[in-house]
Chain A
């Protein structure tokens, strides 16, 4: 006879475990998506937490860097906070006629406003410091906006329990985090006035201009006349070493108009988006006007070059989004010699001795003089 006592309620452990498993599967069947939403929200919360830290730390670094420059205004923190919340609206494009001038005006107004704010924060700062601080404040401003947009989507998704809002946010989050980290790195570079990857075009121009006399041809843009391969080159770049992108399009337009279109070619050097698999600092050649940003400067070069039938070439230096706004990588700095060699070759092959050419180094010239 067996001495084992019967299980309670007549259920042995096997049956209990099977019931528990079955219960778990039934629950998962009905609440699986909710569970998935919870898991996705948890991941987003982690990223949001990091974005908040980045935003707060970025603001603190910016304020500390401004204080280090000496004698800031009393209400410094309030002024910085006001700038970080600043928004810019681009003009209406329902009637696109004349929109380029409207965009240029809007961007100029924003630029002047920011520089004025910085001058009020730092009454004793020189022009280079004003430009660097203005550039530096862009980083926490972007970090603040990224944080607020992600938080908005997160809270909306959570409030509505919308699987699709949360899914979309989760899908774009890795790219968003990568860009946020790039801006965090940019803040360090701008704080110390170090050249950034975007400035590689300006660096090429600076190396060509070195030792030559320069003049300001457009706002924050300088030009030098440099003899290259028996031709005369108008080499231009934004005025450094403060953070500046200048107005290269306006400068090219003025040079072409000054010379009534007697220019054999325009060569633009700029940083370009590196595709995955391409090496940082890889140099490529292109046809067209390689100027990023709002499109205003690109438009001006295209317009004047078309008017005078001047051919344009571009030399592109490949870099990732992270490299563009962080301190210049060695590979990118080393690519300058290659770019200069290509400029010489293009000039030799496509122009005659005695011709005039325009060479425009595009990009932010922080940490690069002329």
Chain B
């Protein structure tokens, strides 16, 4: 299949440069506020708050650019098959095996050795799924 015309990049260096400039300016402002306090003995709370806020915001944005592990959705969920006995109704839950399907005749009942079939096949949803 054809390759994309523009290979997608995960991190934009331009974006990081802008945040870095913002971060440096914020640190300079904070340094100035501290210096002013040392010289005059009074602090400007507005400058401290703005610089602190800008530092926090730009640090957060930088942290957001960290690479996260990619989950694409191809991960295999745990799938189970319920094997039900037609004689004693005993239901045995086991892991899904290739070739299983609902209403397929299954291994004899472990309790009464009677015939059994797969009554359902299901996956347990992950906790974060709604």
Contacts and interface: CB of A to CB of B under 8 A. Distances in A.
Interface of A: 13-14, 17, 20-21, 24, 35, 38-39, 41-42, 45-46, 48-50, 52-59, 61, 81, 84, 144, 151, 155, 158, 180-185, 187-188, 192-195, 203, 206-207, 210, 240-241, 276, 280, 320, 322, 326-333, 336, 367-370
A54 B10 contact: no
A194 B21 CA distance: 53
Of B6, B98, B120, which is in contact with the most chain A CB atoms at under 10 Å from its CB?
B120
B38 interface: no
Nearest to B105: A369
A17 B21 CA distance: 12
Given A17-B32, A42-B12, A241-B104, 5 more contacts: A182-B73, A183-B73, A203-B120, A280-B125, A330-B122
Overall SS of chain B's interface: loop
19 contacts: A24-B21, A24-B22, A39-B12, A42-B15, A45-B8, A49-B8, A57-B74, A61-B74, A84-B1, A144-B1, A155-B5, A155-B6, A184-B73, A185-B77, A241-B101, A327-B123, A329-B124, A330-B122, A333-B121
A184 B15 contact: no
A46 B10 contact: yes
A240 B101 contact: yes
A104 to B, nearest CB: 28
A3 to B, nearest CB: 16
B8 A46 contact: yes
Contacts of A184: 72-74
A17 B73 contact: no
Nearest to A187: B74
Contacts of B74: 54, 57-58, 61, 184-185, 187-188
A52 B4 contact: yes
Given A38-B14, A50-B72, A328 B25 contact: no
Interface in B61-97: 70, 72-74, 76-77, 79, 96
A144 B99 CA distance: 28
Contacts of A182: 73
Overall SS of chain A's interface: helix
A322 B130 CA distance: 10
Interface in B1-42: 1, 4-6, 8-12, 14-15, 18, 21-22, 25, 28-29, 32
B102 interface: yes
A183 B32 CA distance: 55
B79 A327 contact: yes
Nearest to A274: B130
B103 interface: yes
Contacts of A329: 122-125
B121 A39 contact: no
Contacts of B125: 280, 329-331
B21 A39 contact: no
A327 B32 contact: no
Contact of B70 (A17, A42, A53): A53
B122 A52 contact: no
A57 B96 contact: no
A367 B101 contact: yes
A330 B8 contact: no
Given A182-B73, A280-B125, A320-B130, A206 B14 contact: no
A141 to B, nearest CB: 12
Contacts of B32: 13-14, 17
Given A54-B73, A330-B125, A333-B120, A369 B101 contact: yes
B59 to A, nearest CB: 17
Q: Which 6 pairs of residues, A with B, have the shortest CB-CB distance?
A: A184-B73, A241-B101, A181-B73, A49-B8, A333-B122, A369-B103
A79 B41 CA distance: 79
Contacts of A280: 125, 130
Given A48-B8, A328-B123, A367-B121, A203 B102 contact: yes
A43 to B, nearest CB: 10
B10 A49 contact: yes
B101 A368 contact: yes
Contact of B72 (A53, A326, A332): A53
Given A57-B72, A155-B6, A181-B73, A38 B12 contact: yes
Contact of A368 (B5, B70, B103): B103
